[in-house]
Amino acid sequence: MFIYEKAPAKINLMLDVLHKRNDGFHEVEMVMTMVDLADRLTLHDPGTSRISLSSQSGYIPLDDKNLAVRAARLLRQRFGVNRGVHMHLEKRIPVAAGLAGGSSDAAAALRGLNRLWELGLSTAELEELGAEIGSDVPFCVRGGTALATGRGEKLEALASPPRCWVVLAKPPINVSTADVYGNLRAAEIAVHPSASGMRAALEAGSFEAVCDGLGNVLEDVTLKLYPGVARLKQVMENLGADGVLMSGSGPTVFGLVSKEEKAKRICNGLRGFCEEVYAVRTLG
């Protein structure tokens, strides 16, 4: 039996950092939503107890460092499973992009293995296990649109954004999330984006209010460290995207666009500037 799971990318409509906690994590407030750019994970029982992973991508680890493999090991150890799995990951989400590709693969592995190994776990139980793998994994297990607090693992479902186009541009820059957080002085953040403002914009179903409410306090840090990301943001704004923001710790910049034709035009305009460009729909 083959099991198939989609692992969509996420974007942050807002990301705020409240303070650094004693355990080293940052206390955050993030509104996240899924977009229609997804990895594909296929799982099957190899008839042995081996856990293995293959992928067409040359950019990800295939051993225990891969978050999908970590998810499989965690489930097997926690529930005393003695069956194995072979997973094939068709990677479409750019790697180390601020789009939570690895976290979404881990979430897809948790969902897929729950079915393959007939564990009968609820979504809430899978979310809890996901938090042991990474802060963004619980949201990726659940999907939709949510406000994430704590270190990102506490979730509250929110209304989906109005259907629109999302132009994603990933510059050829490697951004280290640890570096970005390391350079952030949480106490010195001058302007905090508003989680309640974004919640109200989503509830009202107002595309304009969602665009107005976009904000990410990591943007200033990444834009200073990597001026190429600042230029990309400027280009996306000049091309006329309705709202523009960097996702997560970057370097992907996304533009919200209400009309398909305009999204395609912006995509074409970006192509001379950036190789990895996608126009996709929101999924939230």
CB of 124 to ligand ATP, least distance (A): 21
Stretch that binds ligand ATP, among 94-102, 114-122, 164-172, 276-284 (CB under 6 A): 94-102
Stretch that binds ligand ATP, among 96-104, 164-172, 209-217, 224-232 (CB under 6 A): 96-104
Q: Is 10 a catalytic residue?
A: yes
Residue from 162, 171, 248, 255 binding ligand ATP (CB under 6 A): 248
CB nearer to ligand ATP: give 162 or 193: 193
How would DSSP label each residue in the chain? -EEEEEEEEEEEEEEEEEEE-TTSPEEEEEEEEEEEEEEEEEEE--SSS-EEEEES-SSS--STTSHHHHHHHHHHHHHT----EEEEEE--SPTTSSS-HHHHHHHHHHHHHHHHTT----HHHHHHHHHHH-TTHHHHHH-SEEEEETTTTEEEE-PPPPS-EEEEEE-S----HHHHHHH--GGG------HHHHHHHHHHT-HHHHHHH-EETHHHHHHHH-HHHHHHHHHHHHTT-SEEEE-TTSS-EEEEES-HHHHHHHHHHHHTT-SEEEEEEB--
168 makes contact with ligand ATP (CB under 6 A): no
Residue from 28, 32, 60, 229 binding ligand ATP (CB under 6 A): 60
Residue from 97, 155, 168, 235 binding ligand ATP (CB under 6 A): 97
Q: Is 65 a catalytic residue?
A: no
Q: How many residues bind ligand ATP (CB under 6 A)?
A: 20
Stretch that binds ligand ATP, among 63-71, 119-127, 190-198, 255-263 (CB under 6 A): 63-71
Active-site residue identified among 10, 91, 233, 262: 10
CB nearer to ligand ATP: give 68 or 155: 68
CB nearer to ligand ATP: give 222 or 262: 222
The residues carrying an active-site annotation are 10, 136
Q: Which residues bind ligand ATP (CB under 6 A)?
A: 60-61, 65-68, 95-103, 105, 136, 177, 248-249
